Amino acid sequence: MTKEDIIKAVWNELPDLTVKEAQKTYETTMNLIKETLAKGETVEIRNFGKFTVKAKTSRVGRNPRTGEDAIITERRVVTFKPSKNFKKQVLNSNPLEE
């Protein structure tokens, strides 16, 4: 599913919105999530999951192509932990039947 697919789905679910309003709703939501994570704060969406920012320390890794040691610098990464309801819904669905 792409950004455009999500916007069209929102527009189809909420017929009172124009396509531009659905797009603005999507953009505002995504920007709010990104800005919150950029501040290092957690975003928790009930019955969906939790986005957190974790700090990774620098470490020695290996270049898979050459096998040489390489320094992996410290960085921040975004992690996602799905809620129990989210996991249950995904595990109980069978996309092969569709």
Q: Tell whether 21 is covered by a domain.
A: yes
Amino acid present at 95: P
Which candidate, 43, 49, 46, 40, places its Cα nearest to that of 77?
40
Identity (one letter) of the amino acid at 13?
Answer: E
Are 49 and 80 contacting, i.e. CB atoms less than 8 angstroms apart?
A: yes
Domain of 61, CATH number, reads: 4.10.520.10
The pLDDT tens digits of the residues spanning 52-78 come to: 999 999 999 999 999 999 999 999 999
Of 35, 43, 21, nearest to 7 (Cα)?
21
The domain containing residue 58 runs over which residues? 50-98
Please give the C-alpha separations between residue 85 and each of 4, 68, 90, 95, in angstroms, as whole numbers: 26, 43, 9, 18
Say if residue 32 is in the same domain as residue 54.
Answer: no
* pLDDT (tens digit per residue) in 30-55: 999 999 999 999 999 999 999 999 99
Count of the separate structural domains present in the chain: 2
* Token duo for residue 83: 């809620």
Residues 26 and 70 in one domain: no
Q: Given this model, what pLDDT does residue 98 score? A: 53
Average confidence score pLDDT of the chain: 92
End-to-end CA distance of the chain: 16
Q: Is 75 inside a domain boundary?
A: yes
